[in-house]
Structure 1
Amino acid sequence: MSTKANRYAHQLLDARAQAKLMPLLSDADALSLMDGYEIGKRILDASIGQGSNPVGRKLGFCNRNIWQKYGIAQSISAPIWAHIFDTTVRYAEDNRGIQSLEGAVQPRIEPEVVFSLGRTPAPDADLEELADCIEWMAHAFEIVVCPFPDWKFEAVDAIAAFGLHGTLIIGEPHVLSSATRRNLASMLANASVSLSCCTEDSVTLCGAGFGSDVLDSPVHALWHLHQELNAHPEFTPLQAGEIITTGTWTDAYPVQAGQTWVTAFSGITLPGLTVSFV
């Protein structure tokens, strides 16, 4: 797989640099999920060589409600993950921002919750111990992109293609107390978010979702990632200082320049985000 992984990684990097579509990797080869992660590792190495620094991970397909909408031969039925970089993460001051879509191929928007780890979790950490390692959380928009026509792909294609990660726009971080960390999984599970699109002519409620849709809670999604990384020694385990975005609370919706997207939470004291696209 080594030579193929390098070739596919460079094809994906070129497609991103040129903002162009490309054929499915899975159409050309019989690839396993681990092959997808090997391609992702080559992309990680190349990205570091080009000056990007990994700052954390993104989780994808943690929302069970959207699994049946993605996949060709079979529906995607499990989360995936990929690295995120200092070149793909930005912060929205006062929970408002402007984001260029230049170079973004088939961009879509996802409302998510982000965690930052203050401590490195023990390999055998349970859910509560893992939650206690979280220093802060924030609301974020992940702008996901897809180099494959019409957003049609298999899971291995999505894994290899940067986990479909484009840009992560993070709102105001909220440092967590020990009491909040103890109850965080249930607090987020019972919260909900609405996602609206605003143009000059209209305001449209596009989607809504619950924290429980994200593998029962975004904290459970983080725990899933922790277990997945520890089960595969070829992956680097979670480390203190990493930022983890835990997956969308709604489906991913197409975005275009001239739109402003707005979220609002219920059941938890997280402010919404307002981001305009140009």
Structure 2
Amino acid sequence: MDIAVQKAADRLLDAYRTAEPIDPLTPEYPDASLEVAYRIQQAQVEQWTSAGDVVKGHKVGLASRAIQRQMGVDQPDFGHLTQSMFHLEHHPIASGTFLQPRIEPEIAFVLGRPLVGPGVTAAEAARAVDFVLPALEIVDSRIKDWKIGIFDTIADNASSGGVILGSCPVSLDQLDLRLAGCNLHINGELVATGAGGAVLGSPLSALVWLANTVGPLGVTLEPGHVVLPGSMTGAYPVAPGDSIVATISGLGTVTAVLGGKDEQ
């Protein structure tokens, strides 16, 4: 199975390099467990870090019912966020960075204390949060036409692509995460509304789930790391030249700008 894991990881890494998505992995690994999918993900992370990239946090994917229905899955997953995935808001992001991008608005946690599961409670998770920020996640898939199952998206680093953080930190005790409303605009057009409660009942629940899921794998959520708990709306396709703004009550706005086709 180690050979099969590396083969799948290499195919996904090639998709990054060639900008050509690959066929779904699930038909080739019909009986493989999700643990194998996470090993494929980890093999890619190890390749990135050995090349000089740095893990700067994690994301929880498939956390809302809207996203689960859209992707045809029934449970959350997690992926790694590396330094190269973070982009400044308002600064054009090179169009060649992504294959088939979609956008999601989220409430990002920035940790001030380590979180080590299992056994982490909501109270401990809240105490570990230094502040929150409005965020946009660019999700992307190295699988053709987004024809993914849960095995595919886990292996593909939870369909991670890019992260844009807002610039005004807010203390967790200054807002109710469940009731925080969100408007998502693409090129000035309102495309979706949502609320924090769409994310496992509360984004904080996603943070708890993450800590308790990665803890048995020997992973600690570190101070300074960013955790994206999941989208407050569905995921919407975006293209070169698009401008995306998420407005989250109590947090303000965050803006992502995708560079034009001539910007690489």
Same fold (TM over 0.5): yes
Shift of 1:55: 0.9
1:164 match: 159
One of 116, 121, 127 as aligned partner of 2:115: 121
1:274 match: 255
Q: Deviations over 1:155-184 (max 9, x none)?
A: 0100111211111111114152xxx44x75
The alignment's C-alpha RMSD in Å is 1.6
- With the length of structure 1 as denominator, give the TM-score of the two structures: 0.88
Percent identical residues: 29
Aligned counterparts of 2:159 and 2:139: Cα–Cα separation in 1: 5
Structure 2 spans left out of the alignment, 5+ residues: 260-264
Indicate the larger mover: 213-222 or 119-128: 119-128
Tell me, what secondary structure is at the counterpart of 1:120?
coil
| Letter of the structure 2 residue corresponding to residue 204 of structure 1 | E
One of 212, 219, 224 as aligned partner of 1:241: 224
Contact 2:67/2:231 (<8 A) preserved: no
1:192 match: 181
Change (3 A) 1:122 1:16: closer
Contact 2:59/2:80 (<8 A) preserved: yes
Q: Deviations over 1:184-220 (max 9, x none)?
A: 5xx010111011111xxxx321111110000011111
2:22 match: 22
1:44 match: 45
Shift of 1:122: 5.0
Tell me, what secondary structure is at the counterpart of 2:217?
coil
Contact 1:136/1:173 (<8 A) preserved: no
Aligned counterparts of 1:34 and 1:151: Cα–Cα separation in 2: 21
Q: Deviations over 1:123-181 (max 9, x none)?
A: 433101210110121111111111222211110100111211111111114152xxx44
One of 201, 210, 225 as aligned partner of 2:210: 225
Indicate the larger mover: 99-108 or 215-224: 99-108
Q: Deviations over 1:87-124 (max 9, x none)?
A: 111332xxx33222213111111111111111113543
One of 72, 75, 79 as aligned partner of 1:78: 75
Change (3 A) 1:89 1:240: same
Aligned counterparts of 1:7 and 1:109: Cα–Cα separation in 2: 29
2:239 match: 256
Shift of 1:45: 0.9
Shift of 1:256: 0.8
Aligned counterparts of 1:2 and 1:138: Cα–Cα separation in 2: 39
Tell me, what secondary structure is at the counterpart of 2:240?
coil
Aligned counterparts of 1:84 and 1:212: Cα–Cα separation in 2: 23
Contact 1:139/1:171 (<8 A) preserved: yes
Contact 2:105/2:232 (<8 A) preserved: yes
1:150 match: 145
Tell me, what secondary structure is at the counterpart of 1:11?
helix
One of 86, 98, 101 as aligned partner of 2:95: 101
Aligned counterparts of 1:173 and 1:45: Cα–Cα separation in 2: 32
Shift of 1:265: 2.3
Please list every run of at least 4 consecutive aligned residues from structure 1 whose deviation after the TM superposition is greater than 4 angstroms. none
